[in-house]
Amino acid sequence: MLTTNNENKFRLENRFIKKHLYQIENDMFDPNAFVLDFIPVRAERYRKYQQYTTEHNAIDDRVMPESEIVKVFNKIHSSYFNFIVDQGTGYVYGNPISLNYANSVGEKSKTWIEEFLKKQNMAIKQNLLGTQQGATGTAFLLVDMDGDLPTLRCIDSWDAYVIDQQKAAVYFEDGYVKDGFVKYMYLITPDKITTYRSNVDFDWSTPAFTKQDDGTIDNLIGHVTLAEYKNNDGSFCDFETVEDLNDAADRLMSSVQDEVEQFRWAYMMIYGTLLDKVEAEKILKTQTGILNITEPDGRAEFLTKDIPTEFFSFISKMLNDNIYKFSKSIDLNDPAFAGGNESGEARKWKVMQLELKAKLKENFFKDGYNATLEALLSYMRTKLSYNDLDIEDITQQFTRSLPVDTGYIADTINKLSSFISKETALSMIPGINPKDEMEKKYAEMKEGQAILDQYGPFGNGGVEDGKHVLGTEEGGTPKGNDDEGEPNAKEA
């Protein structure tokens, strides 16, 4: 039976990477050995994604104690993980990423790639990639060449692995054959794409992949078409450092709710009668609230707990503050964000930790996007004969989703205008592409000048010969007087 020694749940250890690359380069690749090495990584990524969606949190694994007293055992999920990931994704990828091109790039090449990305809904895919990037530590985008035109497809992070971006990558897909459900595995190298298929009713713990007879095709574009978009160098998710704190918050809320729901904050004491277990259960089931006490001195009263509300508030606030702090996220209930008294520039200083995390995300996303663009450029050169565009000719521009103090920006640009270029000044304005804006401004100036030129000394202007714009003839003023103030001869 195949086994693995890979204990790294975030990425394959380097020795396993070297093993699989060696086997691939020497046509010895063992798909089943790779699957077993990949299982710990896959399980961790899927576990984290379920926490992001709140499908399964750590509190779900708590076992209810065997007790006749404990009747309620809540497992309440907080949404911290979801909020942390969505905030980071919205902050970095809320505005579509724009591409800027070098002046040497032809208009046809720019138009093709921009229209292709638009048709592929790349703005939406950026958000999907950003979500998986933050929730599981990495994300994957496939340039699928199965057809006349390439297609961009997001692959779940627990179903893909880039062994080396320049050499090999693997991804999995579900399939169905006559006998039942199967799993397909695709090995992508710059030279070829190889398909493996599992047995029916596939089980990850006992993989049985075999190479398909017709499962090897040439990779016509010469690039690994699966690109990885890591969240950071270690492929850690956005809430990696606060999982225990989130679990503590879940348990706190659940325990408090248990107290309220089962009335553990108050116990009834009954005097002057005997109440056995059967009678007590009968009373609880009927929930009539009526007790029949026959003894003259009998009575019933509640013994209530003094619930430490201040303690609960303190613990809850401490957990809340630490979760935001250690995940480098922003609590939007903070007075600095809940009100409108602070300027956008002042808020920027309060989001410094979020910005540092965002910059790291952005840098790794750029690396993955470049790998995707390289595959597309290779397709353009191979299939469309567009040879005027290289990856060095493209720069990616990110803009943050933040409240903007336009007054502050305008004042800053005005003060710096004599020291910086117009393009640099425009780049300081969020949501503005400097090159596009300068081209629009130049086009407006040309259009305005063309209108003015119609009424110049050499322009027709659409008026009768010999007359100026205001309807006067040569030598006359708008009021019909000559230079001496006398009535124009023709008007007289």
Domain ranges of the chain: 266-304
Average the pLDDT over 115-144 and give the result: 97
Whether residue 400 is predicted with pLDDT greater than 90 in this model: the reply is no
Higher pLDDT, 400 or 382: 382
pLDDT at 178: 92
pLDDT at 490: 46
pLDDT at 110: 93
pLDDT at 491: 45
Higher pLDDT, 266 or 233: 233
pLDDT at 452: 78
pLDDT 10s digits, 307-340: 778 888 999 999 999 999 999 998 887 776 665 5
Host H or E run for residue 268: strand 266-271
pLDDT 10s digits, 20-35: 999 999 999 999 999 9
CB atoms within 10 A of CB 430: 14
Average the pLDDT over 143-157 and give the result: 91
Report if pTM > 0.85.
Answer: no
Three-state secondary structure along the chain? CCCCCCCCCCCCCHHHHHHHHHHHHCCCCCHHHHHHHHHHHHHHHHHHHHHHCCCCCHHHHCCCCCCCCCCCCCCCCCCHHHHHHHHHHHHHHCCCCEEEECCCCCHHHHHHHHHHHHHCCHHHHHHHHHHHHHHHCEEEEEEECCCCCCEEEEECHHHEEEEECCCEEEEEEEEEECCEEEEEEEEECCCEEEEEECCCCCCCCCCCCEEEEEEEEECCCCCCCEEEEECCCCCCCCCHHHHHHHHHHHHHHHHHHHHHHCCCCEEEEEECCCCCHHHHHHHHHHCCCCCCCCCCCCEEEEEECCCCHHHHHHHHHHHHHHHHHHCCCCCCCCHHHHCCCCCHHHHHHHCHHHHHHHHHHHHHHHHHHHHHHHHHHHHHHHHCCCCCCCHHHEEEECCCCCCCCHHHHHHHHHHHCCCCCHHHHHHCCCCCCHHHHHHHHHHHHHHHHHHHHCCCCCCCCCCCCCECCCCCECCCCCCCECCCCCECCCCC
pLDDT 10s digits, 119-129: 999 999 999 99
